[in-house]
């Protein structure tokens, strides 16, 4: 995916460097007043010591901007009034100062060292009470500035500029971290169970850049890079005629075009793209691309709009999305695969959110499939009557798993999994709120495609099992839903008390003694949640 992105765009910036650069931009423009106020306070502190009084306001402002730009986290939690400084916060300050020095070899290192001493509460001993209070105020105000600088520089700028795989560009995520291992996942969830058992499990909010279902689709591209590379190169050639020119530069540029193709695969509605759906889609994507390109602040921005670039990008969207065009036909063909595999990804994600330690949060409308992009797209009215009607038909309806899977496009399968799991949480409150988290081991030829764990509290126990890397798993079968044969000899085992268990989704019952055969569960339904019959 690195190579594909680099080849398409012509370069690939290092994400951390990009964030620093974008934070610098924010501190020079949108937040320049806040930076200047902080710099004046720092200048007064510098004048109180013979070791620092020769620093100019300009050098202090520059070093302060560079330190904030290089800050590795949103903020520290130093209590400057009480004089409390944790080793974690000390480490974050150290990283910021070292990076800022490295990126500014021509600036006096002593200025950065002075800023470090102030942040680490190492002020001169001769300071009077008023000076110490001002020192404390500076540290507290510094911490109030690093957070929004990170949010605006990373989330609201770099997230629209670094387009290698846009499903990674999410609030709380790390766009340069391309997934984690299964061992890391279990380790992190175990830590969460021990330290933050009542924290929120959220997969979509008012602030997410893409809904959980859009991200689940786009993730699929990471498993089929060769097919993606071939398609995206062909699409660029096919759609070049729709690009406008400004001073010899194409509109949109390759980076924005790469963003567009991923966005379309994530946001394309299910079913036939009739005239009404097509018109709505074009309008949504035009609006999204205007927001994305202005947030990126490369060719246009909210403060200084480039009308030519905005108009050229809008015209490109309309041109490539002509209903009778060859591009739409090819996009739809690939989308059928992406949507089917993305469906399984989304259901797996949903069960993890509901069954892992923590308090699950379901954002408005996400009970069914939702392919919304960032606001205002994700704040469109939600049809609650539709959802209520579907739920009424599922509440006491057993034996419907196969029917729901066959008609997965209507979204009832996601609503069903959500309802059944939440009902079990209500019936087993202590188990889900306080129960142990026990990672389970998978074995067999498809072991790498299984995530499984148990939640256990006394005699109560539930086992959650979901698939991963579904595109790789199903490629040989044309990306069909995994059949029992696909799972073959795969099973999970671990610290699961023996007994009779019932799958809350399919109703199937089984005796668990040692291993749990995956084919008996995921061969008929995308995910499984076994409840021990006490």
For residues 7 and 141, state if they share a domain: yes
Classify residue 482: in a domain, yes or no: yes
Cα-based distances in Å from 296 to 306, 333, 515: 13, 30, 51
pLDDT of residue 125: 63
Q: Identify whether the C-beta of residue 258 lies closer than 8 Å to the C-beta of residue 236.
A: no
For residues 14 and 134, state if they share a domain: yes
Cis peptide preceding 252, ω within 30 of 0: yes
pLDDT of residue 126: 63
Three-state secondary-structure class, residue 331: helix
Q: Identify whether the C-beta of residue 4 lies closer than 8 Å to the C-beta of residue 232.
A: yes
For residues 79 and 21, state if they share a domain: yes
Residue stretches of the chain with pLDDT short of 50: none
Classify residue 375: in a domain, yes or no: no
pLDDT of residue 110: 96
Total tally of structural domains belonging to the chain: 3
- Provide the CA 65 distance to its chain's centre, in angstroms: 27
Classify residue 165: in a domain, yes or no: no
CB-based burial, 425-449: b 16+ in 10 Å, e otherwise: beebeebbeebbbbbbebebebeeb
Percentage of the chain with pLDDT > 90? 89
User: Can you give the CATH number for the domain in which 400 is found?
Assistant: 2.60.40.1180
pLDDT of residue 131: 79
User: Can you give the CATH number for the domain in which 300 is found?
Assistant: 1.10.10.470
Last residue of a domain, one of 281, 312, 336: 336
pLDDT of residue 48: 85
Q: Identify whether the C-beta of residue 210 lies closer than 8 Å to the C-beta of residue 218.
A: yes
Last residue of a domain, one of 120, 155, 190: 155
For 310-349, the pLDDT digits (tens) are: 999 999 999 999 988 899 999 999 999 999 999 999 999 9
Last residue of a domain, one of 336, 353, 372: 336
N-terminal to C-terminal alpha carbon distance within the chain: 48
What pTM, to 2 d.p., does this model score? Answer: 0.94
For residues 115 and 241, state if they share a domain: no
CA 70, CA 319: separation in Å to the nearest integer?
A: 41
For residues 332 and 389, state if they share a domain: no
Q: Which domain holds residue 478?
A: 383-532
For residues 281 and 387, state if they share a domain: no
What does the angle CA 202 – CA 208 – CA 214 come to, to the nearest 5 degrees? 90
Classify residue 367: in a domain, yes or no: no
Classify residue 361: in a domain, yes or no: no
For residues 240 and 321, state if they share a domain: yes
CA 72, CA 254: separation in Å to the nearest integer?
A: 29
For residues 9 and 151, state if they share a domain: yes
């Amino acid at each position: 995916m690195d190579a594909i992105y680099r080849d398409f765009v012509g370069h690939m910036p290092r994400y951390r460097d990009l964030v620093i650069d974008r934070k610098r931009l924010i501190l020079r423009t949108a937040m320049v007043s806040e930076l200047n106020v902080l710099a004046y306070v720092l200048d007064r502190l510098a004048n109180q010591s013979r070791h620092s009084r020769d620093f100019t306001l300009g050098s202090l402002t520059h070093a302060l901007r560079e330190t904030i730009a290089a800050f590795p986290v949103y903020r520290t939690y130093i209590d400057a009034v009480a004089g409390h400084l944790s080793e974690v916060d000390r480490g974050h300050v150290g990283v910021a100062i070292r990076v800022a020095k490295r990126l500014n070899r021509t600036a006096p290192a002593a200025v950065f060292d002075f800023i470090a001493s102030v942040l680490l509460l190492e002020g001169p001993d001769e300071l009077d009470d008023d000076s110490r209070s001002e020192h404390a105020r500076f540290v507290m105000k510094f911490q109030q500035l690093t957070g929004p600088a990170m949010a605006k520089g990373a989330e609201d700028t770099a997230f629209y500029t670094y387009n290698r795989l846009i499903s990674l560009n999410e609030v709380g995520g790390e766009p340069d971290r391309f997934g984690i291992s299964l061992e890391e996942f279990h380790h992190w969830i175990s830590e969460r169970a021990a330290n933050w058992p009542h924290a929120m499990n959220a997969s979509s909010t008012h602030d997410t850049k893409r809904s959980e279902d859009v991200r689940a689709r786009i993730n699929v591209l990471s498993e089929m890079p060769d097919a993606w590379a071939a398609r995206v190169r062909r699409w660029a050639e096919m759609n070049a005629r729709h690009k406008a020119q400004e001073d010899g530069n194409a509109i949109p540029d390759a980076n924005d075009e790469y963003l567009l193709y991923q966005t379309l695969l994530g946001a394309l509605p299910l079913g036939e793209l009739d005239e009404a759906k097509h018109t709505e889609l074009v309008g949504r994507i035009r609006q999204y691309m205007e927001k994305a390109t202005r947030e990126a602040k490369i060719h246009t921005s909210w403060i200084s709009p480039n009308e030519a670039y905005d108009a050229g990008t809008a015209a490109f969207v309309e041109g490539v999305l002509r209903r009778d065009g060859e591009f739409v036909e090819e996009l739809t063909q690939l989308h059928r695969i992406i949507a089917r595999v993305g469906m399984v990804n989304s259901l797996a994600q949903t069960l993890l959110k509901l069954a892992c330690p923590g308090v699950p949060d379901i954002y408005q409308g996400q009970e069914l499939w939702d392919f919304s992009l960032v606001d205002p797209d994700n704040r469109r009215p939600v049809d609650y009557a539709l959802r209520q009607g579907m739920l009424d038909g599922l509440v006491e309806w057993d034996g419907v798993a196969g029917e729901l899977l066959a008609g997965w496009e209507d979204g009832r399968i996601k609503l069903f999994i959500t309802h059944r799991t939440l009902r079990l949480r209500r019936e087993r409150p202590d188990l889900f709120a306080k129960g142990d988290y026990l990672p389970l081991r998978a074995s067999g030829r498809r072991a790498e495609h299984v995530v499984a764990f148990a939640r256990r509290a006394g005699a109560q126990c539930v086992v959650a099992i979901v698939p991963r890397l579904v595109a790789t798993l199903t490629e040989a079968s044309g990306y069909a839903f995994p059949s029992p044969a696909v799972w073959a000899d795969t099973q999970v085992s671990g610290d699961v008390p023996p007994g009779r268990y019932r799958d809350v989704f399919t109703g199937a019952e089984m005796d668990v003694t040692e291993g749990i055969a995956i084919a008996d569960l995921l061969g008929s339904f995308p995910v499984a949640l076994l409840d021990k019959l006490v």
